[in-house]
Amino acid sequence: MIPYIYVPDLKVGPLTLHPFGLLVATGVIIGTWLATGRARKRGLDVDKLNSFITWMLVAGFLGGHMLDEIFYHPQEVIKRPWSLLLLWEGLSSFGGFVGALIGVVLWRYFEAEPVLRTPFFTLSKFKRRPEPMPIMPFCDLILSVFPVAWVFGRSGCTVVHDHPGMAATPDTLLAVAYGRAERIEHFGPIDLRYGNHPQFDLGLLELLFTIILASMLALTWRKKLPTGSYIAAVALSYAPVRFAMDFLRIKDSDSADPRYGGFTPAQWACIGLFCLGVVMVLRVMQITRSGVDPQDKLAAPWRLAQLAEAAGGSPPTEDEAPASAPGAT
């Protein structure tokens, strides 16, 4: 069995830092850094990407909590409707995915225009864009690095054990030693506890799968895949694995996840995600046949100048080709 990992909260003066929050924040930072780096190498507009990521993250965290409350704790919403605003009380991964999707769709049609800047904050107003922005290129870019960030998120779930699964036998390879600890090994502040009640830990299982997925996608980063390939790959690989894993969730207890038609909310979302993956495969095939790359609409100024030159337009100027551009000095 795998030992039950216990990681205590970190005290920094009057502040208490929780391991889950620290790991999630680390994943967001690393994921943003990787996406920005890949955007520069591919000639995408980094300013637009940063705006895209902001809309995606804000809506993702809002959706992650609100949809978790609505679908996993409906009685709590009826009893305390304001619990929808208590973002620290719980998150759902698929709720976050749906929220992020809503955020990027809103980004497609609206933009934030600063009206007041101060050293501490910026006030903005929202206005409709003159024409919608394409979102598939940035979605594809984000999903090329998202599994790396997700490794940190699921590491957080693993160390706080917020997704305990069904009971298992002691000889089950991936079972975690829950229950009363019969032996404890100390590694600095971290304890490895060997309990007497083996269970599946769904956070750990998904972490192991995500490490494999992130590694496989990272091997393709030096290649130029058709836009949409990463969306299709992540959807078609994650959906069936997560669908199967949810059958290991606890049943017939007060802490069990609700079922709708025999499936958990996440399993229904997996069906939709898999269908999206199939649609994206067809879209990628269409893009490949057309020879027109949708990401060119989100190209950085220096890249747009290169494309114009290749099409017979005017060549790029020194102002249009920053030092990070290929061939710039």
State the SS3 of the chain: CECEEECCCEEECCEEECHHHHHHHHHHHHHHHHHHHHHHHCCECHHHHHHHHHHHHHHHHHHHHHHHHHHHCHHHHHHCHHHHHCHHHCCCHHHHHHHHHHHHHHHHHEEEEEEEECCCCEEEEEEECCCCCCCHHHHHHHHHHHHHHHHHHHHHHHHHCCCEEEECCCCCCCCEEEEEEEEEEEECCEEEEEEEEEEEEHHHHHHHHHHHHHHHHHCCCCCCCCCCHHHHHHHHHHHHHHHHHHHHECCCCCCCCCCECCECHHHHHHHHHHHHHHHHHHHHHHHHHHCCCHHHHHECHHHHHHHHHHCCCCCCCHHHCCCCCCCCC
Q: How many domains does the chain have?
A: 1
Closest CA to 22 of 155, 217, 219, 186: 155
State mean pLDDT over 223-251.
94
76 has a pLDDT exceeding 90: no
Q: Which domain holds residue 44?
A: 4-308
d(CA 159, CA 257): 20
Q: What pLDDT does residue 51 have?
A: 92
d(CA 181, CA 192): 9
Phi-psi region of 228 (alpha: psi -120 to 50; beta: other; left: phi over 0): left
Structural domain includes residue 326: no
Structural domain includes residue 328: no
% the chain with pLDDT above 70: 92
What confidence tier does 210 reach under pLDDT thresholds 50, 70, 90?
Answer: very high
329 has a pLDDT exceeding 70: no
Q: What pLDDT does residue 146 have?
A: 95
State mean pLDDT over 135-163.
94
For residue 138 the two structure tokens come to: 């940035």
Write down the mean pLDDT value for the chain. Answer: 87
8 A C-beta contact, residue 149 and residue 31:
yes
% the chain with pLDDT above 90: 60
Structural domain includes residue 72: yes
Structural domain includes residue 321: no
186 has a pLDDT exceeding 60: yes
What confidence tier does 9 reach under pLDDT thresholds 50, 70, 90?
Answer: confident
Structural domain includes residue 125: yes
Buried b / exposed e across 211-221, counting CB within 10 Å, b at 16+? Answer: bebbeebeeee
What confidence tier does 311 reach under pLDDT thresholds 50, 70, 90?
Answer: low
Give the tens place of pLDDT for each residue, 11-70.
888 888 889 889 999 999 999 999 999 999 988 999 999 999 999 999 999 998 898 888
315 has a pLDDT exceeding 80: no
Structural domain includes residue 215: yes
Structural domain includes residue 255: yes
What confidence tier does 323 reach under pLDDT thresholds 50, 70, 90?
Answer: very low
328 has a pLDDT exceeding 60: no
d(CA 109, CA 134): 9
Structural domain includes residue 314: no
State mean pLDDT over 224-251.
94
What confidence tier does 88 reach under pLDDT thresholds 50, 70, 90?
Answer: confident
State the pTM of this model.
0.84
